[in-house]
Amino acid sequence: MAIESFLAMLAAERGAAANTLAAYRRDLEGAEEVLGDLLHADRAALARLGQAWADLAPSTVARKASALRQFYGFLVDEKLREDDPSAALPRPVARRPLPKILSHEQVELLFRQAEEEAESARPPALRLLALLEMLYGSGLRATELVALPLSSVPRDAPFITVSGKGGQQRLVPVSTRARQALSRWLAVRPADGPYLFPSRGKHLTRVRLFQLLKELALRAGLDPAKLSPHVLRHAFATHLLEGGADLRVLQTLLGHADIATTQIYTHVDSARLVALVNERHPLAGGARGG
């Protein structure tokens, strides 16, 4: 079956994760329910999908159309079809929302609170500081951070090995501050289990990480609704870009397969610059005197 062959290619050649494969399967099989056998569908048939998808959000239509374009590209590459009818698919314009970020001042408040609590040398406080340093200092995803094995932290190099989406591994630099926080945590870490942040025989969960950060935000006088592991990852990326980091370097650090995903941060930085001009320019808020 063509869909099965396509999914097998995604798994073997692109390292697609199980959730990604399931999403592609749903989109392709959903289109097949409307059109019948996708292998023999023509341009006129694909054009009808626009009407079938009329009530869906533009982002959903874009995702479904992308799955079909990749599918038909695969069929052509594999000589299963001579033509690619996917040009007839709808192309909605979906604006990607800008990610939430924290200001430098808000980050400082967060770290000041975590560092003051870590002075107690209590294991929960030292763990929280290490988690915070890794989220903001290395830009890790929540799932990557909580599942870090103890063996991923080398003793003699400022890097850790991270297993990201699709099982793809990358080296992520660890700042001097983060290494110090990790060292303090390792000195009190329970000596059981293979994970860097163990919890109840396994590792700390994403849900618990969210809770810990929101509780810290409250204690630091910040709105907990504005803080999450992903917000700290966005802050890491945006603040690096503000400091002059190259977009390709940022793509590698974040583990993005496509540079287009990373480019969203250029829009965030541009929005920040516009806001800065509007707020701080001498002519802001009033007309120029004649």
Question: Which residue in 100, 177, 256, 272 is the catalytic one?
Answer: 256
Question: Which residue in 24, 72, 136, 265 is the catalytic one?
Answer: 265
Catalytic annotation present for 165: yes
Catalytic annotation present for 239: no
- Taking residues 278-286, report their average pLDDT: 53
What are the beta bridge partners of residue 5? Answer: none
Separation CA 61–CA 49 (nearest Å) = 9
DSSP of 211-260:
HHHHHHHHHTTS-GGG--HHHHHHHHHHHHHHTT--HHHHHHHHT-SSHH
Question: Which residue in 127, 189, 203, 233 is the catalytic one?
Answer: 233
Question: Which residue in 14, 25, 165, 272 is the catalytic one?
Answer: 165
pLDDT in tens, 221-255: 998 988 888 888 888 777 776 766 666 666 666 66
pLDDT in tens, 142-189: 888 898 888 888 776 677 777 766 666 777 778 888 889 999 999 999
Question: Which residue in 69, 206, 208, 230 is the catalytic one?
Answer: 230
Q: Which domains does the chain have, with CATH numbers?
A: 2-88 (1.10.150.130), 104-276 (1.10.443.10)
Predicted local distance difference test score (pLDDT) of residue 215: 95
Residue 30 CB neighbour total at 10 angstroms: 15
Separation CA 222–CA 215 (nearest Å) = 10
Catalytic annotation present for 265: yes
Catalytic annotation present for 233: yes
Separation CA 256–CA 248 (nearest Å) = 10
Treating both helix axes as pointing N-terminal to C-terminal, what angle do 58-77 and 2-13 enclose, rounded to 10 degrees? Answer: 90
More confident residue, 93 or 200: 200
Question: Which residue in 141, 184, 189, 203 is the catalytic one?
Answer: 141
